[in-house]
A and B are shown apart, each in its own frame.
Chain A
Amino acid sequence: MNVRTRSLPLLYLLFAAITAVVLFPIAINVMTAFKTPGDLMSSSPLSLPKQWSFGNLKTAFEKGNMLVGFRNTGILVFVSVFLNTILGAMTAYVLNRFNFRLKKLVMGMFIVAMVVPFYTTEVARFQIIKGLGLYDSLGAPLLIYAGTDLLQIFIFLQFIEKISAQLDESAMIDGASYVGIFTRIIFPLLLPASATLGIIKAVDIMNDMYIPYLYMPSKSLHTLSTSLMTFVGQRASSFEQLSAAILIVLIPTLLLYLFLQRYVFSGITAGAVKE
């Protein structure tokens, strides 16, 4: 299918307009973050800063508790993605390579979990987290994020199916145990899938707001999202500082997107299109 060359300029115009719509909010944010309060008051919000000042970024970083936010978000991302990947791969391995009586039930439970609503479930989960003594600790989001889901299992299953069962058998003859087969053959071969799934999971965790907000109210446990929420609550009208805090929170995923875009795209589309 070729678009006729005549309509091409129109097409570029369309995409240029979309690019403008996407970049306008971000450009405004960057410009505002570098303005002094006086500059912001006296000039149009659309204008460039008269002089680029880093004062807001410094204030937002220090007063906004951002260092703590980076640390906690970092811990949550690394530990949860690590656990989640291993658990997901283990589940898919067992579901693909073994036949057992409750297999359908296990699959069924993961399917049911797909329709459990995101936020409203917290009404009941809150009591469970409290009952387990996990309230106001990193443990609460860690365990919630670590759990595997249907989509992840499906994608791992797609990859495991392509790993020949003969590999398992010959390892078996050489005396490897099932655990050995998983750790030395299956899991290493799943690493490309793990990378794409891990990136998507990492983005989800970095951008999650409600679970850390609900389960980790202590200031020392704030993530990037909840640090920003607190900072905004404190200085609702100081837009140059707000913009600086927003910019700080935007940077991690922007960088990740810039450098690992290929994995982001394959992770997003992995479940949607059969290989």
Chain B
Amino acid sequence: MQKRLVVVSFLFIPVALLLLFLLYPSLRLLQFSLTDWNGMSKSFNYVGFDNYVEAFRNPDVWKALSNNFLYFGIHAAFIPLEVMLAVFLNNKMRASRFFRSIVFMPYILNGVAVAYLFSFLYNPINGPINALLEAVGLESWIRNWLSDKSIVNYSLVVVSLWRFSGLHVVLFLAGLQSIPNDLYEAATIDGAGPLKKFVHITLPGISRVMEIVLFLNVRGALQVFDIPFLMTQGGPGLASTTFTVYTIQTAFKYNNYGLASSLAVILMLMIIVFSYLQGRLFKGKGESS
């Protein structure tokens, strides 16, 4: 009897918070997504799947989503480089700890401060980045980094890379450090070269970390929010909007809670589907090798 009391009383607050602030809101999203609610009025009408149909037909939603994929793709393309850096850092090079600290530092900094800091760096008039290009004789590269529609997304992705790549490197490094050294020694005795060792020991050794990084990348890229929200508000026009920025603006700026809720539900489904697919793809690869 005392056992039961302990279980209930210990779990009551954590589970209540979980239900109240995460699970119940998710169910409410499902409900709102089937209505035409504007966020303020006392009543609303159920409109079936109209919001979902509108979400799929809305070209702005697709535009936003394609921007998310840009973040996803470029971050994914950097993963091999991040693994390489981690391998180098793991090789007990001098100052390896110092470099690790430097590489990871951006991740720990306040995201709002970093976003505004880069807004200043990108400033077209007397901005530090353009000044730097001028100083090294690359005047022809000077751009309006945040107001040119064809460039703005890349400018923002750079900020995202600056902030988050170091996290990946540190995670990979931790994975590498967990590989027992005798595996490499045994392989050396068996006459394996560096490439063989990398493919057969290093890569399998960091597969768990790789899965985590890939999951973080899917979740992060599908939900990019603060960088565009703070630096461009999704502009110019909708050029740099993302799925989450668009959803938040649909709800809190245009008071279309029904559509915003359906977008949120779609986002949740995308996170689940992409994480699952990526996991399958990755696991499949791991087994065949």
A-side interface residues toward B, CB under 8 Å? 1-3, 8, 11-12, 14-15, 18-19, 21-26, 28-29, 32, 44-46, 87-88, 90-91, 93-94, 98, 100, 106, 109-110, 112-113, 115-125, 127-128, 143-144, 146-148, 177-179, 182, 203, 206-207, 209-210, 214, 224-225, 228-229, 232, 239, 242-243, 246, 249-250, 252-254, 256-257, 261, 264-265, 268-269, 271-274
**Which residues of B, 115-142, contact A by the 8 Å Cβ criterion?**
116-118, 120-121, 123, 126-128, 131-132, 135
Q: Are A272 and B212 in contact (CB under 8 A)?
A: yes
Which residues of B are found within 8 Å of A143, using beta-carbon distances? 17, 20-21
Given A15-B99, A246-B116, A273-B174 in contact, is the A120-B244 Cβ separation under 8 Å? yes
Q: Is there an interface contact between B174 and A18, defined as CB atoms closer than 8 Å?
A: no
Would you list 30 pairs from A and B whose C-beta atoms are within 8 A, ordered by A residue? A1-B202, A3-B91, A11-B93, A18-B99, A18-B103, A25-B114, A25-B117, A28-B121, A44-B135, A91-B14, A98-B6, A110-B18, A115-B275, A120-B264, A123-B247, A123-B264, A124-B28, A147-B21, A207-B109, A209-B112, A224-B110, A228-B116, A239-B120, A239-B123, A250-B113, A253-B108, A268-B170, A272-B171, A272-B208, A272-B212
Contact of A2 among B11, B14, B91, B167 (CB under 8 A): B91
Q: Contacts A229-B112, A232-B116, A273-B209: A121 and B178 contacting too (C-beta < 8 A)?
A: no
How far apart sit A269 and B261, CA to CA, in the bound complex (Å)?
A: 34
Interface residues of B, CB < 8 Å — how many?
A: 94
Partner of A113, one of B22, B93, B106, B108: B22
Q: Say what secondary structure dominates the interface of chain A.
A: helix
How distant is the Cα of A235 from the Cα of B236 in the complex, in angstroms?
Answer: 20
**B23 CB contact (under 8 Å) in A22, A109, A242:** A109
Asked whether, in the complex, the Cβ of A243 is within 8 Å of the Cβ of B226, the reply is no
Rounded to whole angstroms, the CA-CA distance of A72 and B126 in the bound complex is 36
Q: Beyond A206-B110, A264-B108, A269-B170, is A120–B247 a contact (Cβ under 8 Å)?
A: yes
Main secondary structure of the interface of B (DSSP, over half): helix
B4 interfacial contact with A, CB 8 Å: yes
Q: Are B212 and A121 in contact (CB under 8 A)?
A: no
Q: Which of B68-123 contact A (CB under 8 A)?
A: 85, 87-88, 91, 93, 95, 99-106, 108-114, 116-118, 120-121, 123
Q: Which residues of B contact A272 (CB under 8 A)?
A: 171, 174-175, 208-209, 212
Give CA–CA (A132, B22) in the complex, Å. 15
Check if A229 sits within 8 Å of B121, measured CB to CB. Answer: no
The answer, yes or no, to whether B272 is at the interface (CB within 8 Å) is: yes
Select A115's contact among B229, B248, B272, beta carbons within 8 Å: B272
Pair A123/B14 contact, Cβ less than 8 Å? no
> In the complex, A206 Cα to B114 Cα: how many Å?
13
> Which B residues lie within 8 Å of A269 (CB)?
170-171, 174
Q: Complex: how many Å from CA A203 to CA B11?
A: 26
Tell whether B230 is near chain A: CB-to-CB under 8 Å.
yes
Q: Which one of B6, B112, B116 has the highest number of Cβ atoms from chain A below 10 Å of its Cβ?
A: B112
Q: B289 an interface residue at 8 Å Cβ cutoff?
A: no
Nearest A residue to B28 via CB reads A124
B119 to chain A, nearest CB (A): 8
Q: Are B10 and A117 in contact (CB under 8 A)?
A: no
- Find B7's partner among A98, A115, A273 (CB 8 Å cutoff): A98
Q: What's the Cα separation between A107 and B63 when bound, in Å?
A: 37
Tell me which residues from 12 to 44 in chain B have a Cβ below 8 Å from any Cβ of chain A: 13-15, 17-26, 28-29, 32
Question: A118 contacts B223, CB within 8 Å?
Answer: yes
B223–A94 touching, CB < 8 Å: no
B48 at interface by CB-CB < 8 Å = no
A26 and B20 CA atoms in complex are apart in Å by: 40
Give CA–CA (A124, B248) in the complex, Å: 11
Q: Are B194 and A273 in contact (CB under 8 A)?
A: no
CB distance from A111 to the nearest CB of B (A): 11
- Which 10 A/B pairs are nearest by Cβ-Cβ distance? A269-B174, A120-B264, A124-B28, A147-B17, A124-B25, A178-B6, A45-B128, A249-B113, A125-B25, A225-B112
B88 touches A3 (CB 8 A): yes
